[in-house]
Each structure stands twice: as C-alpha cells, then as structure tokens.
C-alpha cells in the first residue's frame, strides 16, 4: 500500500506542510488533516461549489484536486478572506443583505465572489450569475446573493 | 420599481427591522461548526453498505472479511439492532411501528429501495471504511419492484410488506396491500354541486419524486460511553425528534441520549428523520470510540427522503358567474418504502384557498420501492395545488374570467370552513389577491411571442407545537436567550427580536444560543413554518416572565408593593413616585446583590393555526424549437401576518419559489426499469443555478394573525406551493396546450407542443 | 477511493515511462475533473496516477498563421479562452472551452482531458472535429498523430494504448472567410451534460455568399462523438441559403443514433441535432462573414 506523501504548500499566505495519501482530495486534507473546516463538502464531484478555494490564482472545487497536487502551490480558503482588521466587503455585504440562510454554501460563494470582484470590479448581474453558476444554493433562490455581490462591488469602489 | 415591498400595518421598535443575524459573522468566515465539522479524540469514520437493488430478500450477509480488514474497528448489521431480538409479544401495539423504524435504518429481511442500508463499518479513515464495506458479501434474491402508485395499486402488484393491511377509512382490510391507508374528507353534496355547475372539468395529473436538495449531506457523530450515556452530534431540524427516534430504535432510555444540534446546512423537512444516528451509535458502542458517519451526495439522493411522486384527479364544477360549486379530488401519493406520505396534508390543503360548498377528497398512501418520503416544505400541498389550480386556470380560460377575479369570488376568508373541518379565523388571502392585482407585474402585458403568464394561490396550515425558551439577565443589562430551535434561516434573529421587543431592550442586547437536548425543554422541529411563530411565542413568554421578576425585584428594592411598579419601554418605574425609576440595565446591575440573578422560562404549545396564503405571478418564454422554458419574471405575494425580519421573510419566499421552479421545470428522480435511480448527482438532478433565474420579486402582506402576540403567521412553507401550478399554467398559455405532468422539462414541453 | 500512487513526471518521456510501467493500471491526470470522480465512484480504477501538468509540452498554447494552433493536452479551459490568439482565430473552440462545467471546473479541466475521457457528450470534441484538429500522441514506440474524429472508439474508450499519453492537439490556421460555432442543448443554462451538441465550421468564398466547404460534428447522439462527413460535404459549392442549411441539418440528423436515457429521448435528441445544426451553421456563417 502506498505510503503518505509529504507536501509543502502555502495556505492563506502561510507556508504549510502536511502528510497525506495520494487518494485524499485537497478538500479532505483541508478539513481532516489541517482542521480547516470552513471549506464545505456538498457533493464531492465538482457540481455544487461548496468546497471552492483559490488554487494558484483561480477558483477550483477542492474536491476535484488531490492533496498532493498542492505541492508548491498557493491556496487560499474562506479562513483567509477576512483580515485582522475585519470582514472583507463581500462578507459584510452577505451579512447586510441577508444573503445566507443555512450558510453551508456561503464560504464557497464568498471565495468565488471575491475572486470575481478582484478580477472584474464592474461585473454586472448577468456576469455575476454566470460566474456563480457553479455554486449551488438551495435556500435563497440566489436573489439576495446576487444583490450582496453587487453591493460589495459598490463598497469596494467606495 | 421596488422589487421587495412590505405592506406593513403595525410598526414596532425591534420587530420588523432588518437586523444582522447573531450567527452571521461565524457563517461568513467559515467558523460556524456544522455537523460534518465535529472533531473528537479517537474519532473513527464510518461507511454504510447499501442495497444495489430496489427490492430483494436478504438471504445472507457475510461480514468476516470486513472485520478482518486492517484498520476496521466495528461492523454492524440489522442483527445488532435491538429489534432483531424482540418479538410481537415484547412490543405489542408498537411492533409494526418499531419494525418499520428499525428496518428503515438498517434492513433485516428485505431491502425495499436502492440505497437501503444493510451493514456499516467504522474504521480509521473513510477510505479504509469504504474498502471494508466492499468486502462484505450479501446474497440477495431480487424481487420485481413496484415503482409508482399506479403500479403498486394494481391488484397483482409486487408487495413490499406482507404484513401491511390497508387502513380503509379507519378499518383494517384483511388482505396485505401496498396501499397503507385510504382517507377521505367530504362536505356538502357532491352530486348536487356538480348539477349546479355550468362548466365541469375533470383532469388527471402526475408529478415526479423530487428531493429537498439541501447542500449539506446528512451526517452524524456518536459516542456511546461505557456508562451508557449516548452523545450525538448531528445536523438535524429536530434534535428532540432524533433523541426520541434513537431511543426508540435502540431501546435506550431517552434520558441517556443527548443530541447536540450542530449548525445545519439546509433541511426543508428532509432532516427530521434519524437515518445515520442509530448506526453511528451502534458502531460507537461496538468500537468504544466516537464514530462519524457522512452520507455522500449519491447516498443523500438514494436513501434520504424525497417528496412523493403523485397521481391525482380533479373534477371541478363552476357556475358561469365563476363560482365553484363542487370539487371531487383523488390523490394517490407515494410513501416510499414505508407508510407515511403527506397525502393527508395534501388533501387538507387542496381546496383550502376556496370556499367550496360541496367537496369530496379521497387520499391514498401507497408504499413503493423508493426511499421513504420525508417532509419537503409544505408537504403534500404543492402537488395538490398543481392539480387544483391548473383546473381552476382552465375553467377561467373557458369562462373568460380573469384568474385573480375568479379567485377573489371564491376565496377563503374569515368564517369559511375547510373541507376537513377547521373554520378560518382572520386570514389574508383576499389581501394577497388584491396586492397581486395591484402589482405592476400584473398590469404589465407580456411583450413577445411564445410567452405565457401563470397565476396561482397556495396554502399552508402553520401550526405551532411545543417550544421552550429560557432568558437569563446579565449584569450588564443584556440577556442570554437559550432555545432549542435549530437556526436554518435566520431564526436566532427573529426569536431575539421578539424577546427584545417584549423586554423593551435593544436587539443587540439579546444573545441567542441554540443548545442540546439536555439544556432546554422539549422543542419541536424547525419546520412547518413554526419556529418564528412558536419559539418566538416562547421567547415572548420567557421575556414576560423576566419582566415579572424584574418588577418584583424593583418592588423589593424600593420596598413597595409589586402593584405599584410598572414595566414599560425597557424601564421600571413607580406608578406614583416619579423619583423611583430604573432602566432595565440599571436594575440588571443590582440583581446579584438583591436576591440573585433572574431567569425567565417558558414552555409553550400554541394551539390554533397561523394559516398562511400566497399568490404568485410568473411570466415564461418557451423556445419553440427546443421546449426550453425561461422564467422571465416572478412575483411572490404572501401574507406573513407580521414579518419579524423582513429580509429573512423575503429570503424564505424567494427560496421557496426557486425550489418550486426546479420542481416544475427540471427536477425529477429518474429510475431505470430495475428501480435504480440514474441521476443521483447534482449534475443530473438539475436544481436551478444562479444563471437560470431572474430576481424574485416579493410583496409581504401583513394581516396580523389573531393567534400570536405580534401577529406572526409563519412563512417558510407557503412559497413552494404556488410555483408548480403557476409555472405549469404559464407554459400552457405560452404553447396553447395544457401541462398536466411535472416536471415540464424541455423534452416534455416539446412533446406537449405536438 | 482505492489507494493509488502518484507521480509528477517533468518530461514526456518520463511520463511515457511511468505510464508504461503500470500498463492499463496507470491513468494520466490533467485537470482531474473527470478522472477523480470516476476513480471515486469506482467507474475507473488505477494503481498509479501520472500527473502530467509539470510537462512543458502539455501546457503549451501557441499559435502561428502557418502552423496553426497547438494546445497542450493539460492546458486548462480558462487559459484557452483567455488567450488572445485563440479568441481571435478560434471562436468556435472558445465556445466549447467556456461552457465546460463551471468557472471552477474551467480552472482545471483541459480540452486534452475532455478528449481522453472520450465521453459521447464531450463538449470540446465536436468543436475540435469541426476545426479539423489532430491529436499528437506519445508512447513507448514514439509519437503518432490521429485525427480527432478517429480518436474515440466507444463511451470512455479511445485509441490510446497502454503507455501512451496525449501530448497536444493541433488545429490548422483558419482559412479566409471561415467560421465555426459549437452549441449544446441543456435544460439548465450551465452545469449540465449536453442532451445534444453540434459543432459546425464553414469556409465561404470571397463574396461570403457561397459555401466552399463545411464540417459538422455531433455530441451525445452516439457511443462516440460523430463526424457528419456527408452533412458537411453537402454544403460545398452551394450558395448560402436556408435550403442548403436545411439539407445539412437533415443529413446530420440521419447520422444521429442516440439512445433514450435520463438526459433525453431519441426523438428529442434527433430533433435537437436539426435545431443545433441550423443554429451553429448560421452562427458560423456570420463569423465567416465577420458579422
């Protein structure tokens, strides 16, 4: 049986080392090896977006990345979105716009929405809906999520 | 144009305001602890082996190879469940109920749906546990499945249970059957009503099985201590229901079971039943270690509660003036593998929007080889509404009557008796219909070919049930509010607001916490639109208890009779001596030195119903080449009684609408001819994405519920009811042919276009 | 998921060596968006996962007006649709690269992986066939080239032998007055498997009024992606007209041999091939005319 692999990576700006089996997903490693449970599992096959993280500058579903693939990469997760000074404008907008109900999809939405606004600060409703189509929410009907992202855009420009 | 309108009748200080939810920061930063996030020393991971067959006899199970697999700590089968060693004599009248409950959790003699648990393993990791379950050998004798109510109701149908006898209007039949029960409601004289009608339409409908679709899979972690104390951490809508289920199935004293509700990632009715908890408990008992079980998404689809597929017939008569004279309704609902579909609720909701003088509703609860159905938001009502509202729409077309006008002529209002008996108190259906008619959406004509508009109404009971709340006063003038209602959609906020309003203190001064079953009185599920209503009520009563004790304390401090002290606007004052006045905060500071702290407590079980109604408008466009439906515009109107937190009321409305859109258009369990679900993933079970939808406009109507201190009615269930008929009717108008089967996916619409 | 070993070769020959060492028990990993799901679900199994993303040739995206476009087999979709030369010269390829999965999936999934996964529903394959793409394969016996329309041999099966990997895909430089388009039909607007898909490309004459040639390919209507040779050829020499498009659509529908399953019925799929062939041809014509 194959043994554990030593992986050196960077998570939320911090150099991080861990051991994992090659068959373990990055999602598993984050949650079960590193105890970073902010990233959620909803489907484990890339179709819900709850496990969205930034992986070398792009959003990915961490269930479809192997933990061993993190070697030498830059990863950021929901735990890295807020700063010591406070919440990120996207997080603040989600709170103020009641853009979450149960909250299980929220970390994935926030990571994805932040990635969009970092790249496209003027994304319109259609683009936001397109960008977030890989993130399923069953509670809100998306209305308040989309409004929150639009609101965050305004906040980030101000 | 305003997208979210609140037609408010009464203004309060805290109630009705859009506060930030107390658990919000934890939920936007990833710190909130959901069920799957539980970590414990020595935690093992479990996996469940499930039946690949929809219907089969279990001949033998050989777990020896799994037990010998390195890293495996425990293996369980149904033989480990107490039920296996109990007889009908031991259990008496509980026998069948417990047999069904135990076998549902883990099959003994027969598997009744693909995904039915047959064994489980606890191991050092989920991968090892998965390797081990693949080493378990099960011999099955496959039996043909009965997959739909029509199949299962055939006289020669393949039977799921050889000891299930139809409860025929209360009498047990003498021959085993897949029909678990036949119930009926009747009012007036149906034949006379049909005679009075100028137009009579009879139509047949079908809807497919659909899933609640919460994003968080089921999970459960259990630790069975050597002293018999069983602790369970789980995502559930009803920790007390889980406690009862687990105690029942494991024959363990309810007092030795503690259920800690973790944050929950959606439920919609589907996270009430205990699926994994008894298995995790048994694995823990055997391994003497805590064990965590997580369902995969496929397991969620295949083995947790869908809402029933249905077969329905509606015959409706109306006069040419547009007055309903008679309704004759047949509802057959799939129960899944064990009895208990919501056909009774469907029957009671079917005609609740209308004053129908002559009515007959027959309902059938039918077992089929699908997972046992669970509650799904207004269980039974959306399907029944699809059938009834669609026929009303067709009658309006035939009579040339405006559909809102028709509904106003027949609308239920105060004093109207429902077919199943209750008489409405003050309700807000008429106000909802008027708000819909006055809405800019309704006045705006459609603006292109292949478009259609649908309008439909919907109802849910909104019953109360038991809730408990404790409120303790802190020395700084804030209060801790302890509740047993799991917060799925902002209820910490809506409960805290009612407590703050009652106490006359700031919202921010109430700190709500949801606790385990050892730490608060019995509280029913978060579901059925009851939480803000009933737990809110408990919070109001606990706050009143605090107020009373604060008055007593002030009287003690002032050395004056209690009757002289008044509590208003968060302050205590002497009725005749203006010098004697203390704010809530000032008195709070003095409590410890004047007799100790103050805790208000309440256990409530409000009787009566909140009775919620909604009216929805939807515009669709159908691609004539492909049959694909686009939702162009959607407006949901609903009587909330009083919207404690309007944003979360709107959220409930929008979320319910979108689940309804999914149900109407694309969601469906797709089975092969062996009864195996073929689309058990979010890829092929097509829930709406952000890109499939417009903004969902809302109108909150506030006709105060006379049965609640702030007029709350409950809001979560109603908004999933009207979308099915509203969308079906909109498509029918767009294509010129009726849609009588859901989902109306592109293939089905293409066929309907002819 | 079963236990696997994992390796990250840095060159094509190291990769081939690693693949060959395990025969059919080795699997190449690019974006992993199909492979990991299949390994987890037990639909494929492997002893060794060969991560090919560290190999320069497999990450290449290069274009020249003489040599056309070379896309490394592991280059993720987002790099393809963000590439200025690809966007300018191969909008038909961008169509498919930008609708595979979600934004998250496009951050990982590659056209090479889409091809090697060889699903009948693959969105990128009809677009590549329409554009005349060729697959560059390396193996223990050297390299070889296979036209993309000849690559897939059945659902999930293809011409790759044990030890072989797909290195890159070549597409010829677009001819003057040419255009292409890929459309699929799905019940939702994203995150779906094609009920049917059609990739079309056309070359028009200088006037933009007559077809010089055409290529049409289908997804989700047979055990493999379908190259509709007759349908494409029927356009050659005809004036651009509804009749010519209709005839091509009719021939494409004849080539569709779908099954009824949870995603659609035979009747619906054949009908959709007609609809999508007409739509993609019209879009391709517009692009060829620079409209």
- Is the pLDDT assigned to residue B621 strictly greater than 90? yes
Calculate the alpha carbon distances from C26 to A22, C19, C172 in Å.
14, 5, 31
- Is the pLDDT assigned to residue B40 strictly greater than 80? yes
For chain B, what percent of residues have pLDDT higher than 70?
100
Domain containing residue C244: CATH number: 3.30.390.50
Residues B46 and B108 grouped into a single domain = yes
Residue A144: φ, ψ to 5°: -70, -25
How far does the CA of residue A91 sit from the closest CA of chain C (Å)?
20
In a domain, B629, yes or no: yes
Local confidence band at A117 (pLDDT 50, 70, 90 cut-offs): very high
Q: Which of residues 220-259 of C touch B (CB under 8 A)?
A: none
Residues B451 and B491 grouped into a single domain = no
Residues B257 and B233 sit within 8 Å (Cβ to Cβ): no
Residues B574 and B633 grouped into a single domain = no
Sign of CA dihedral B106, B112, B115, B119: positive
In a domain, B28, yes or no: no
CA-nearest of B387, B392, B390 to B402 is: B392
The pLDDT assigned to A158 comes to 85
Would the CB atoms of C2 and B131 count as touching at under 8 Å? Answer: yes
For chain C, what percent of residues have pLDDT higher than 90?
99
- Is the pLDDT assigned to residue B249 strictly greater than 90? yes
Mean pLDDT, range A55-78, rounded to an integer? 98
Best mutation target, C4, C33, C188, to test chain B (most B CBs within 10 A): C188
Residues A44 and A73 grouped into a single domain = yes
Cβ atoms within 10 A of the Cβ of C275, count?
19
b/e per residue B199-230 (b: at least 16 CB within 10 A): ebbebebbbbbbbbbbbbbbbbbbbbeeeeeb
b/e per residue B451-488 (b: at least 16 CB within 10 A): bbbbbbbbbbbbbbbbbbbbbbbeeebbbebbbbbbbb
**pLDDT tens-digit profile of B358-406?**
999 999 999 999 999 999 999 999 999 999 999 999 999 999 999 999 9
Sign of CA dihedral A94, A99, A104, A108: negative
Query: Can you give B118-175 as a three-state secondary structure string?
Result: EEEEEECCHHHHHHHHCCCEEEEEECCCCCCHHHHHCCCCCCCCCCCEEEECCEEEEE
Local confidence band at A3 (pLDDT 50, 70, 90 cut-offs): confident
- Is the pLDDT assigned to residue B485 strictly greater than 80? yes
Residues C33 and C131 grouped into a single domain = no
The pLDDT assigned to B9 comes to 79
Identify the segments of chain C with pLDDT beneath 50.
none
Residues B595 and B519 grouped into a single domain = yes
Mean pLDDT, range B745-750, rounded to an integer? 98
Local confidence band at A66 (pLDDT 50, 70, 90 cut-offs): very high
Does C104 lie at the interface with B, CB-CB under 8 angstroms?
A: no
Residues C70 and C155 grouped into a single domain = yes
Which residues from chain A sit within 8 angstroms of residue C2, using beta carbons? 23
CA-nearest of C257, C209, C200 to C232 is: C200
User: What tokens does B615 get?
Assistant: 């009216």
- Is the pLDDT assigned to residue A1 strictly greater than 80? no
Would the CB atoms of B215 and A42 count as touching at under 8 Å? Answer: yes
How far does the CA of residue A93 sit from the closest CA of chain C (Å)?
22
User: What tokens does B355 get?
Assistant: 């004053």
CA-nearest of B442, B428, B403, B460 to B697 is: B442
The pLDDT assigned to B2 comes to 67
Domain containing residue B107: CATH number: 3.90.1170.50
Residues B441 and B560 grouped into a single domain = no
Residue A38 lies in domain: 5-80
Would the CB atoms of C190 and B666 count as touching at under 8 Å? Answer: no
Residues A93 and A69 grouped into a single domain = no
**pLDDT tens-digit profile of C196-232?**
999 999 999 999 999 999 999 999 999 999 999 999 9
Task: Kindly report whether the peptide bond that precedes residue B2 is cis, defined as omega within 30 degrees of 0.
Answer: no
The last residue of a domain, from among B260, B277, B296 = B296
The last residue of a domain, from among C117, C148, C171 = C171
Residues A74 and A12 grouped into a single domain = yes
**pLDDT tens-digit profile of B579-620?**
999 999 999 999 999 999 999 999 999 988 999 999 999 999
- Local structure of residue B421 (DSSP, 8 states): S
The last residue of a domain, from among B263, B296, B329 = B296
Who contacts B470 (Cβ-Cβ below 8 Å, separation ≥6)?
A: B481, B482, B520, B542, B599, B600, B601, B602
Q: Indicate the residue of C3, C188, C193 with minimum beta-carbon distance to B666.
A: C188
Local confidence band at B297 (pLDDT 50, 70, 90 cut-offs): very high
End-to-end CA separation in angstroms for chain B:
39
The last residue of a domain, from among C171, C195, C216 = C171
Q: With 0-12 CB in 10 A as exposed, 13-18 as middle and 19+ as buried, what is B449?
A: exposed
Beta bridge partners of C178: C203
Mean residue pLDDT across chain B: 97
Mean pLDDT, range B213-237, rounded to an integer? 98
Chain pair A-B, CB pairs under 8 angstroms: 188
The last residue of a domain, from among C171, C187, C206 = C171
Residues A74 and A102 grouped into a single domain = no
Domain containing residue C41: CATH number: 3.30.43.10
| B609 sits in which H/E element | none
Best mutation target, A8, A9, A23, to test chain C (most C CBs within 10 A): A23
CA C86 to chain centre: 15
Who contacts A119 (Cβ-Cβ below 8 Å, separation ≥6)?
A: none
Domain containing residue A109: CATH number: 1.10.150.120
In chain A, the largest separation of any two C-alpha atoms, in whole Å, equals 56
| B719 sits in which H/E element | none
CA angle B479, B485, B491 (to 5 degrees): 70
Domain containing residue A33: CATH number: 3.10.20.30
Would the CB atoms of B684 and C189 count as touching at under 8 Å? Answer: no
Q: Indicate the residue of B127, B682, B745 with minimum beta-carbon distance to C187.
A: B745
Does A105 lie at the interface with C, CB-CB under 8 angstroms?
A: no
Residues A32 and A62 grouped into a single domain = yes
Mean pLDDT, range A98-108, rounded to an integer? 98
The pLDDT assigned to B536 comes to 97
β strands within C113-236, DSSP E: 134-139, 142-147, 152-154, 157-158, 165-171, 178-185, 196-204, 211-219, 226-227
Residues C65 and C47 grouped into a single domain = no
Does A38 lie at the interface with C, CB-CB under 8 angstroms?
A: no
- State the chains in contact with B (3 or more Cβ–Cβ pairs under 8 Å): A, C
Would the CB atoms of C107 and A55 count as touching at under 8 Å? Answer: yes
Would the CB atoms of A141 and B23 count as touching at under 8 Å? Answer: no
Residues B6 and B702 sit within 8 Å (Cβ to Cβ): yes
Residues B441 and B472 grouped into a single domain = no
CA-nearest of A103, A62, A75, C262 to B35 is: A103
CA distance C46 to C40: 11
β strands within C12-99, DSSP E: 26-29, 48-51, 61-64, 68-72
Residues B656 and B588 grouped into a single domain = no
- Give the chain B residue whose CA is nearest to the CA of A24: B127
Calculate the alpha carbon distances from C114 to B307, B424, C106, C124, C262 in Å.
36, 60, 11, 7, 21
Residues C65 and C139 grouped into a single domain = yes
The pLDDT assigned to B369 comes to 98
Reported pTM: 0.98
For chain B, what percent of residues have pLDDT higher than 90?
97
CA distance B153 to B464: 35
Which residues from chain A sit within 8 angstroms of residue B652, using beta carbons? 101
Question: DSSP letters of B230-279?
Answer: EEEEE--S-HHHHHHHHHHHHT--GGGEEEEEPB-S--TTSSSS-SSHHH
| Domain total of chain A | 2
Does C263 lie at the interface with B, CB-CB under 8 angstroms?
A: yes
How far does the CA of residue B664 sit from the closest CA of chain C (Å)?
12
Which residues from chain B sit within 8 angstroms of residue A101, using beta carbons? 266, 488-490, 648, 651-652, 655
- Is the pLDDT assigned to residue B745 strictly greater than 70? yes
Residues A76 and A94 grouped into a single domain = no
Q: Are strands C68-72 and C165-171 parallel, antiparallel or unpaired?
A: antiparallel
Q: Which residues of B touch C (CB under 8 A)?
A: 127, 130-131, 625-626, 628, 665-666, 670, 678-679, 682-684, 686, 688-689, 691-692, 745-747, 750
Would the CB atoms of A22 and C36 count as touching at under 8 Å? Answer: no
Residues C262 and C210 grouped into a single domain = yes
Residues A72 and A97 grouped into a single domain = no
Local confidence band at B170 (pLDDT 50, 70, 90 cut-offs): confident
The pLDDT assigned to B112 comes to 98
Residues B666 and B722 grouped into a single domain = yes
How far does the CA of residue A65 sit from the closest CA of chain C (Å)?
7
Which residues from chain A sit within 8 angstroms of residue B263, using beta carbons? 102-104
| Domain total of chain C | 3
**pLDDT tens-digit profile of B298-307?**
999 999 999 9
How far does the CA of residue B670 sit from the closest CA of chain A (Å)?
18
Residue C252: φ, ψ to 5°: -65, -40
Would the CB atoms of A25 and C51 count as touching at under 8 Å? Answer: no
Beta bridge partners of A52: A61
Q: Indicate the residue of C40, C49, C105 with minimum beta-carbon distance to A44.
A: C40
Residue C199 lies in domain: 178-288
Would the CB atoms of C191 and A134 count as touching at under 8 Å? Answer: yes
How far does the CA of residue B261 sit from the closest CA of chain A (Å)?
13
Q: Indicate the residue of B20, B34, B651 with minimum beta-carbon distance to A104.
A: B34
Mean pLDDT, range B159-175, rounded to an integer? 94
User: What tokens does A15 get?
Assistant: 């150099």
Domain containing residue B653: CATH number: 3.30.365.10
How far does the CA of residue B31 sit from the closest CA of chain C (Å)?
23
**pLDDT tens-digit profile of B603-612?**
999 988 999 9
Q: Match 């255009």 to its residue by tokens.
A: C179
Residue B509 lies in domain: 464-604
User: What tokens does B406 get?
Assistant: 């028709």
Ramachandran bin of B682, using left for φ above 0, alpha for ψ from -120 to 50, beta for the remaining angles: alpha
CA distance B106 to B76: 9
CA distance B662 to B684: 13
- Is the pLDDT assigned to residue A2 strictly greater than 80? no
User: What tokens does B459 get?
Assistant: 């109802």
Would the CB atoms of C5 and A133 count as touching at under 8 Å? Answer: no
User: What tokens does A43 get?
Assistant: 């489907």
Cβ atoms within 10 A of the Cβ of A109, count?
29
How far does the CA of residue B338 sit from the closest CA of chain C (Å)?
26
In a domain, B358, yes or no: no
Q: With 0-12 CB in 10 A as exposed, 13-18 as middle and 19+ as buried, what is B390?
A: buried
The pLDDT assigned to C274 comes to 98
Local confidence band at B624 (pLDDT 50, 70, 90 cut-offs): very high
Would the CB atoms of B213 and A138 count as touching at under 8 Å? Answer: yes
Q: Which of residues 1-20 of C touch B (CB under 8 A)?
A: 1-3
End-to-end CA separation in angstroms for chain A:
56
- Is the pLDDT assigned to residue B166 strictly greater than 90? yes
- State the chains in contact with C (3 or more Cβ–Cβ pairs under 8 Å): A, B
| Domain total of chain B | 3
Best mutation target, A5, A21, A32, A134, to test chain C (most C CBs within 10 A): A134
Residues B741 and B636 grouped into a single domain = yes
End-to-end CA separation in angstroms for chain C:
50
In a domain, B185, yes or no: no
Beta bridge partners of B120: B48, B76
Mean pLDDT, range B554-571, rounded to an integer? 97
The last residue of a domain, from among B550, B574, B604 = B604
Would the CB atoms of B265 and A106 count as touching at under 8 Å? Answer: no
Chain pair B-C, CB pairs under 8 angstroms: 49
Which residues from chain C sit within 8 angstroms of residue A60, using beta carbons? 104, 107-108
Residues A27 and A74 grouped into a single domain = yes
């Amino acid at each position: 049986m194959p043994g554990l692999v030593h992986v050196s990576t960077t998570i939320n700006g911090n150099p991080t080392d861990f051991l994992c089996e090659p068959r373990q997903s990055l999602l598993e490693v984050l949650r079960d090896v590193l105890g970073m449970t902010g990233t959620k599992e909803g489907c484990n096959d890339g179709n819900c977006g709850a496990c969205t993280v930034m992986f070398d500058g792009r959003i990915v579903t961490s269930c479809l990345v192997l933990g061993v693939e993190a070697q030498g990469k830059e990863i950021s997760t929901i735990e890295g979105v807020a700063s010591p000074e406070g919440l990120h404008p996207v997080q603040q907008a989600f709170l103020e716009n009641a853009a979450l109900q149960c909250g299980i999809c929220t970390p994935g939405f926030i990571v994805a929405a932040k990635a969009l606004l970092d790249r496209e600060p003027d994304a319109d409703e259609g683009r936001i809906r397109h960008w977030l189509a890989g993130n399923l929410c069953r509670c809100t009907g998306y209305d308040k999520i989309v409004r929150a992202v639009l609101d965050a855009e305004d906040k980030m420009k101000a | 144009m305003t997208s979210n309108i609140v037609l408010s009748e009464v203004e309060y200080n805290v109630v009705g305001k859009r506060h930030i939810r107390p658990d919000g920061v934890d939920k936007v930063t990833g710190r909130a602890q959901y069920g799957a996030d539980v970590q414990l020393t020595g935690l093992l991971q479990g996996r469940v082996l499930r039946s690949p067959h929809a219907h089969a006899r279990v001949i033998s199970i050989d777990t020896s190879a799994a037990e010998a697999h390195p890293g495996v700590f425990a293996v369980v089968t149904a033989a480990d469940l107490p039920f296996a060693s109990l007889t009908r004599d031991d259990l008496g009248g509980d026998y069948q109920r417990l047999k069904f409950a135990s076998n549902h959790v883990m099959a003994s003699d027969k598997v009744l749906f693909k995904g039915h648990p047959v064994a489980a393993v606890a191991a050092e990791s989920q991968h090892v546990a998965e390797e081990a379950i693949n080493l378990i050998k099960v011999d099955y004798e496959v039996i043909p499945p009965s997959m739909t109510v029509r199949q299962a109701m055939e006289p020669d149908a393949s039977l799921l249970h050889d000891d299930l006898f139809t409860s025929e209007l209360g009498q047990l039949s003498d021959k085993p059957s897949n029909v678990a029960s036949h119930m009926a409601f009747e009012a007036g004289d149906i034949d006379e009503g049909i005679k009075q009608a100028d137009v009579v339409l009879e139509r047949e409908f079908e809807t497919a099985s659909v899933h609640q679709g919460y994003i968080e899979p089921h999970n459960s972690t259990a630790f069975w201590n050597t002293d018999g104390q069983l602790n369970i951490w789980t995502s559930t809508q009803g920790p007390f229901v889980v406690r009862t289920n687990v105690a029942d199935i494991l024959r363990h004293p309810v007092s030795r079971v503690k259920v800690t509700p973790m944050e929950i990632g959606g439920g919609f009715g589907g996270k009430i039943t205990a699926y994994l908890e008894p298995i995790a408990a048994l694995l823990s008992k055997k391994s003497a270690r805590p064990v965590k079980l997580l369902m995969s998404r496929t397991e969620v689809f295949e083995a947790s509660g869908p809402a029933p597929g249905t077969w329905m017939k509606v015959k409706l008569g109306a006069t040419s003036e547009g007055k309903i004279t008679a309704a004759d309704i047949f509802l057959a609902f799939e129960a899944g593998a064990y009895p208990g579909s919501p056909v009774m609720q469907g029957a009671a909701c079917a005609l609740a929007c209308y004053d129908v003088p002559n009515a007959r509703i027959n309902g059938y609860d039918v077992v089929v080889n699908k997972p046992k159905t669970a509650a799904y938001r207004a269980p039974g009502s959306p399907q029944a509404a699809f059938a009834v509202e669609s026929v009303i729409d067709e009658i309006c077309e035939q009579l040339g009557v405006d559909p809102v006008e028709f509904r106003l002529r027949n609308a239920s209002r105060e004093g109207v008796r429902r077919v199943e008996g209750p008489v409405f108190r003050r309700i807000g259906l008429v106000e909802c219909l008027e708000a819909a008619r006055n809405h800019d959406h309704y006045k705006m004509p459609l603006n292109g070919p292949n478009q259609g508009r649908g309008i439909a109404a919907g109802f849910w009971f909104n019953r109360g049930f038991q809730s408990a709340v404790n409120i303790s006063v802190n020395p700084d003038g804030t209060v801790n509010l302890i509740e047993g209602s799991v917060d799925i959609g902002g209820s910490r906020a809506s409960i805290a607001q009612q407590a703050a309003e009652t106490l006359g203190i700031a919202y921010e001064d109430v700190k709500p916490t949801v606790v385990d079953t050892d730490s608060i009185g019995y509280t029913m599920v978060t579901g059925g639109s009851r939480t803000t209503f009933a737990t809110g009520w408990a919070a109001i009563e606990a706050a009143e208890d605090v107020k009373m004790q604060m008055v007593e304390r002030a009287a003690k401090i002032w050395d004056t009779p209690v009757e002289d002290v008044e509590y208003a606007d968060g302050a205590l004052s002497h009725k005749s001596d203006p010098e004697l006045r203390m704010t809530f905060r000032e008195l709070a500071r003095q409590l410890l030195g004047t007799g100790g702290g103050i805790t208000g407590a309440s256990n409530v079980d409000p009787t009566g119903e909140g009775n919620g109604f909604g009216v929805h408008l939807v515009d669709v466009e159908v691609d004539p080449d492909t049959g694909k439906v686009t939702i162009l515009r959607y407006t949901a109107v609903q009587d909330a009684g009083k919207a404690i937190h309007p944003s979360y009321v709107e959220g409930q409305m929008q979320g319910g609408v979108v689940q309804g859109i999914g149900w109407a258009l694309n969601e469906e369990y797709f089975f092969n001819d062996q009864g195996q679900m073929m689309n058990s993933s979010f890829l092929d079970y097509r829930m709406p994405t952000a890109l499939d939808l417009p903004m969902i406009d809302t109108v909150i109507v506030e006709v105060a519920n006379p049965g609640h201190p702030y007029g709350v009615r409950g809001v979560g269930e109603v908004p999933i009811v009207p979308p099915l008929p509203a969308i079906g009717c909109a498509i029918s108008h767009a294509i010129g042919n009726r849609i009588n089967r859901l989902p109306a996916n592109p293939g089905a619409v293409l066929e309907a276009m002819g | 998921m079963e236990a696997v070993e994992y390796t990250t070769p840095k060159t094509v020959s190291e990769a081939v060596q690693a693949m060959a060492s395990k025969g059919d028990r080795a699997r190449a990993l690019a974006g992993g968006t199909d492979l990991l799901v299949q390994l987890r679900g037990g639909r494929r199994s492997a002893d060794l996962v060969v991560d090919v993303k560290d190999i320069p040739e497999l990450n290449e995206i290069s274009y020249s007006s003489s040599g056309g476009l070379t896309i490394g087999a592991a280059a993720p979709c987002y790099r393809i649709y963000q590439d200025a030369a690809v966007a300018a010269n191969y909008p038909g390829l961008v169509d498919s690269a930008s609708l595979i999965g979600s934004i998250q999936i496009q951050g990982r999934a590659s056209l090479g992986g889409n091809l090697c996964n060889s699903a009948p529903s693959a969105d990128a394959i009809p677009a590549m066939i329409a554009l005349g793409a060729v697959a560059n394969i390396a193996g223990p016996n050297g390299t070889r080239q296979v036209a993309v329309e000849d690559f897939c041999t059945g659902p999930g099966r293809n011409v790759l032998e044990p030890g072989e990997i797909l290195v890159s895909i070549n597409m010829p430089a677009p001819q003057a007055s040419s255009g292409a388009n890929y459309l699929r039909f799905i019940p939702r607007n994203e995150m779906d498997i094609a009920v049917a898909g059609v990739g079309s490309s056309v070359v028009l004459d200088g006037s933009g009024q007559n077809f010089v040639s055409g290529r049409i390919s289908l997804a989700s209507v047979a055990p493999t992606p379908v190259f509709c040779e007759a349908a494409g050829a029927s356009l050659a020499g005809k004036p651009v007209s509804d009749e010519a498009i209709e005839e091509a659509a009719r021939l494409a529908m004849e080539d569709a041999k779908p099954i009824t399953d949870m995603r659609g019925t035979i009747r619906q799929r054949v009908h959709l091939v007609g609809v999508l062939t007409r739509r993609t041809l019209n879009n391709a014509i517009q692009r060829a005319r620079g409209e």
